[in-house]
Amino acid sequence: MTNNAVAAVADRYRQPMTLGNAVLDIHPIAMVAGITALIVVGLASAGWIVPLAVSALFVGIAYLAGRGPSYLVTILKLWIAVGLILFALRALLVKGETVLVPLGPIAITREGIENGLRFTTAVMVICGGVTLFFAIVSMRRLMLALERIGVSPRVSYVILASFQAITDLGATARVVLDAQKARGIETEGNVFVRARAFFPVLAPVFLTAMTATEERAIALDARAFNNPGRHTSLLNLKPLTAVDTVLVVLSLVVAAAAVTGGILGWF
């Protein structure tokens, strides 16, 4: 690499990290406030239309952030896997006066459907907000923002290392599963046969992971991880901008208005 190229790379790390999208670049803390306010709006309403509208708004925000398609897939899966079951069970089992469809011992009632719609949309607005947040804000940026406001780097380490370890251990476990299959351990057949395969697959994977922690501890010690002073980081986060501040204030106002409105029965 020429000197110029090196300087360019170094310069990139001196600049605050930007993801090239106005929504993605919102400070993680402001994002927490904004999404929480929207969830509060959804929950404060007594009906099911407002939470549904907020859920739709979340999809819109995801598209603005350029994460639309993947978010839509995740949230639709959640609606089918969680929402539909929650709704169907309530519609079928909640007792009511107005019977719409009698089905032997149980019946679909108007009350059941209303209760189901309300509860399902309320749960799904929380699901939508949480998944949206993690679709937009990467764990790295979130932890960096939290470290800046005084959360211990050890907490960041635990969270970030967990995600890494889940990926790594998952991959190793699959490799060991194949290896043990090749050595003749039955992974098909009845439940007991399959359950017995569980031990020779997982025990070595978990043991290796546990013994590797020792080396990891030494590696981090060598990088002064346990130094009580302020840690530096490779990436910089933009400080809170005016837009972020406005967003936080606006969120507080909207959330407070929604709670008041919900209590007074405006919507």
Instruction: Give the x-and-dash track for 154-183 against another protein (CB under 8 A).
Output: xx-xxx-xxxxxx-xxx--xx--x------
Q: Please enumerate in sequence order all residues whose Cβ is within 8 A of that of 179, keeping only pairs 6 or more positions apart, or say none.
A: none
- Applying CB under 8 A, the span of 3-11, 25-33, 58-66, 195-203 interacting with another protein comes to 195-203
List 66, 96, 153, 262, residue binding another protein (CB under 8 A): 153
User: What burial class does residue 234 get, using C-beta atoms within 10 Å of its C-beta: 0-12 exposed, 13-18 middle, 19+ buried?
Assistant: exposed
Asked if 55 interacts with another protein (CB under 8 A), we say no
At closest approach, how far in Å is the CB of 15 from another protein?
A: 26
List 209, 240, 254, 259, residue binding another protein (CB under 8 A): 209
Instruction: Give the x-and-dash track for 65-104 against another protein (CB under 8 A).
Output: ---------x---x--xx--xx--xx-xx-----------
- Applying CB under 8 A, the span of 65-73, 207-215, 247-255, 258-266 interacting with another protein comes to 207-215
> Which of residues 195 and 242 has its CB atom nearest to another protein in the complex?
195
> Which of residues 2 and 211 has its CB atom nearest to another protein in the complex?
211
CB-based contact 33:247 (threshold 8 Å)? yes
Separation between Cα atoms, residue 216 and residue 160, nearest integer Å: 14
Q: Please enumerate in sequence order all residues whose Cβ is within 8 A of that of 149, keeping only pairs 6 or more positions apart, or say none.
A: 29
Dihedral sign for Cα atoms in the order 183, 187, 191, 196: positive
Residue 169 structure tokens:
């251990």
Residue 89 structure tokens:
């069970």
> Which of residues 100 and 166 has its CB atom nearest to another protein in the complex?
166
Asked if 195 interacts with another protein (CB under 8 A), we say yes
Binding residues for another protein, rule CB under 8 A, total 64
Q: Which residues bind another protein (CB under 8 A)?
A: 74, 78, 81-82, 85-86, 89-90, 92-93, 105-106, 119, 123, 126-127, 130-131, 134, 150-155, 157-159, 161-166, 168-170, 173-174, 177, 187, 191, 194-195, 197-199, 201-203, 205-207, 209-211, 213-214, 216-217, 220-221, 226, 228
